[in-house]
Each structure stands twice: as C-alpha cells, then as structure tokens.
Amino acid sequence: MTAVAALEIAAVAVDLGGRRVLQDVNLAVARGELVALLGPNGAGKTTLLRAVLGLQPTAAGCVRIEGRSARPGRAAIGYVPQRHEFAWDFPISVADVVVTGLTGRLGLLRRPGRSEWEAAADALDRVRLGDLADRPVGQLSGGQRQRVLVARALALRPAVLLLDEPFTGLDLPTQELLSGLFAELAHEGRAVLMTTHDLLGAVEGADRLALLNHTITAIGTPAELARDATVWSATFGVGPDSTLVRMMRSVA
C-alpha cells in the first residue's frame, strides 16, 4: 500500500489579476521529508504556499493534508512568512506573538489557556528564545524575529511546515541554527516545504528539490537535479554556460 503524503498539491492552478500564475502544479511531501521549492522571482513560490494555506483561491486542483482536503485556518499547517509580513511595532511580547499561531485552532473569542502557553514555551525553547518570552517583539534583532516566527508556527505542533524564504537577511550563525532545526523537524516526522534562493544550501540540506516556474519543471534529489543542466536552464531562463548552471555542475 502506498503511504498517504502529508501534503499533496494536485493539479493546482491560480489566477491573479486575470492572469494565470500557476498551472497544473503537482507536488507531494511526505512526513519526514524536507523539500526545497526553487525558482526565479515571480515564479509563483509564495503564491503556491498561500494556496496551500487557503489564503489564495485556486482556479483548479486541490490541496490535501494527510489525505483530507485542507480547511483554511483549521488544517495542521505551520507557516513561517517572510519577516516583513509581520507588524513588529505592535506592542506585544514574544510569547504573545507565538500564541497567535494558535488563533485558527482557538477561534477569535476563546482565550489561550495553560496548554496553549505551554505549547508556546516549548516552541520558544526549540528556537532557543525561551529566555526572551516576556520581551517586547520590537526590541528583537532580525535573526531573533525570524526565530519567533518559526516558534509561532511550531506552537501549532503541525504535521506540515511551510517556510517562505526563512534565511533572507540572516547572519550565518542564525542560518545554521535554523537549518539544523528544520532538518530535526523533518527527522521527527514533519513534512517541510521551504522556498529559498539559497541554492547551495538547498542542495546541501534538502531531501528533494522541486523547481517551479509557474508549474513544476523538475523534481528529484539534489544529486539527480544537480547533474541535469537542462532543468536549471529551463526553470531559471539562463544559458548552459551561466554561473548558475556551472555552480550546479560543481556540486553534482
């Protein structure tokens, strides 16, 4: 019997402003797997994550979480947006931000109880920020803010974790901390789908790579795709002698 994928994106299409930006996207991510979603700017990577979350309507296809149709705000999906999408000047504490990750489960009227605060504390410990739980979020550094967003996603204890460019603007120690954490989370049995522009980091850390340019152009292990120059040329619109293609050949 074939195991049910934790995340299944089946024939998904998305229209924005009267233009089709995603067409016939098919991708499955298993529990215990970290998949890096790679593509040029404007390829539809963030749009695809928003479609999985139900924040962006689809024109066709469906998204399933562990075999069931995803319900917006209710499915066990943790989401780490790009850092600029959060209002960091809002006057709340780090722990308060993490608990907001549970709003979909709690509803707007129910206040968080002991179990929710414990989940938030556990999540902050995972990103090594437990000692900053009471600090106002506006006082955090860029790397600390990113770790807070990761903790907010982890508080849900999700089966599926979506990461949108989690390393942008971070220093190397923070990148390494988060890279190790994401690998641990996959190893523990979560399905992790991450968009990133860090191609070498993806080749090094992901179980599989999915190349996207309005549709999935290739998918495979890093070793498989690094050897195939044509898929990188087709996805990123570069020539066979481009720096990108030469870089991928060097790691094959």
Q: How many whole angstroms separate alpha carbon 159 and alpha carbon 155?
A: 12
**AA letter at 135:** R
* Tens digit of each residue's pLDDT, the chain (252 residues): 346 789 999 999 999 999 999 999 999 999 999 999 999 999 999 999 999 999 999 999 999 998 888 765 555 799 999 877 778 888 899 999 999 888 766 655 567 778 888 999 999 999 999 999 999 998 999 899 999 999 999 998 999 999 999 998 888 998 999 999 999 999 999 999 999 998 888 998 999 999 999 999 999 999 999 888 889 999 998 888 888 888 887 876
Query: In the numeric block, which tokens belong to residue 50?
Result: 């928003």
Q: How many whole angstroms separate alpha carbon 111 and alpha carbon 205?
A: 38
Query: In the numeric block, which tokens belong to residue 14?
Result: 């998305």
Q: How many CB atoms lie within 10 A of CB 228?
A: 16
Q: How many whole angstroms separate alpha carbon 122 and alpha carbon 145?
A: 17
- Provide φ and ψ at 194, rounded to 5°: -130, 125
Closest CA to 101 of 127, 121, 79, 72: 79
Q: How many whole angstroms separate alpha carbon 160 and alpha carbon 187?
A: 13
- Provide φ and ψ at 27, rounded to 5°: -160, 135
pLDDT for residue 73: 54
Positive or negative, the CA dihedral 148, 77, 25, 231 is positive
Rounded to two decimals, what is the model's pTM? 0.90
Q: How many CB atoms lie within 10 A of CB 248?
A: 22
Show the domains of the chain with their CATH numbers.
Answer: 7-76+158-251 (3.40.50.300), 91-149 (no CATH)
Q: Are 164 and 80 in contact (CB under 8 A)?
A: yes
First to last CA, the chain: 33
**AA letter at 240:** P
pLDDT for residue 247: 83
Q: How many whole angstroms separate alpha carbon 62 and alpha carbon 88?
A: 33
